[in-house]
Amino acid sequence: MTIWNLGSINADFVYSVPHIPVPGETLASTGRAVFLGGKGANMSVAAARAAARVAHIGAVGADGLWAVERLMEYGVDTRHIAEIDVETAQAIIAVDANGENSIILHQGANVQIPVNVLEQALNRAETGDTLVFQNETNLQLQAAELAVTMGLRVAYAAAPFDADAVMAVMAHLDFLILNEVEAEQLKDATGKGPQDIPVKDVIVTLGANGATWFGADGPVDVPAHKVTPVDTTGAGDTFTGYVLACLDRGQPMLQAMQTASKAAAIMVTRRGTADVIPDLADVQSFSG
User: Residues marked as binding for substrate?
Assistant: 10-12, 38-42, 136, 237
Q: Return the number of the residue (157 or 235) whose C-beta is nearest Na ion.
A: 235
Distances (CA, A) of 1 to 39, 139, 153, 174, 266: 22, 23, 11, 16, 26
Selection from ligand ADP, Na ion, none that 264 binds (CB < 5 to 8 A by kind) is ligand ADP
- DSSP letter (8 states) at residue 22: P
Residues marked as catalytic: 237
- Which among 278, 284, 274 is positioned nearest to 11, based on CA atoms? 274
Selection from ligand ADP, Na ion, none that 207 binds (CB < 5 to 8 A by kind) is ligand ADP
- Interacting positions 235-274 with ligand ADP (CB under 6 A): 235-236, 239, 261, 264-265, 268
With binding defined as CB under 5 A, does residue 235 bind Na ion?
yes
C-alpha span between 271 and 239 (Å, rounded): 16
With binding defined as CB under 5 A, does residue 236 bind Na ion?
yes
Number of H helices, E strands in the chain: 9, 13
Q: Return the number of the residue (77 or 201) whose C-beta is nearest ligand ADP.
A: 201
Selection from Na ion, ligand ADP, none that 84 binds (CB < 5 to 8 A by kind) is none
Task: Work out which of 30, 209, 232, 255 binds Na ion, going by CB under 5 A.
Answer: 232
Q: Return the number of the residue (78 or 259) whose C-beta is nearest ligand ADP.
A: 259
Strand residue runs (E) in the chain: 2-6, 10-16, 31-37, 53-60, 77-83, 89-95, 101-106, 130-134, 153-157, 175-179, 201-205, 211-215, 218-222
Please report how close the Cβ of residue 47 comes to Na ion at its closest, in angstroms.
Answer: 17
For residues 67 and 101, the answer to whether their CB atoms sit within 8 Å is no
Contact region for ligand ADP (CB under 6 A) — 45-53, 101-109, 189-197, 201-209? 201-209
Task: Work out which of 49, 225, 256, 270 binds ligand ADP, going by CB under 6 A.
Answer: 225
C-alpha span between 176 and 113 (Å, rounded): 23
Phi-psi region of 175 (alpha: psi -120 to 50; beta: other; left: phi over 0): beta
Residues near ligand ADP, by CB under 6 A:
179, 205-208, 210-211, 224-225, 227, 229, 232, 235-236, 239, 261, 264-265, 268
Residues near Na ion, by CB under 5 A:
232, 235-236
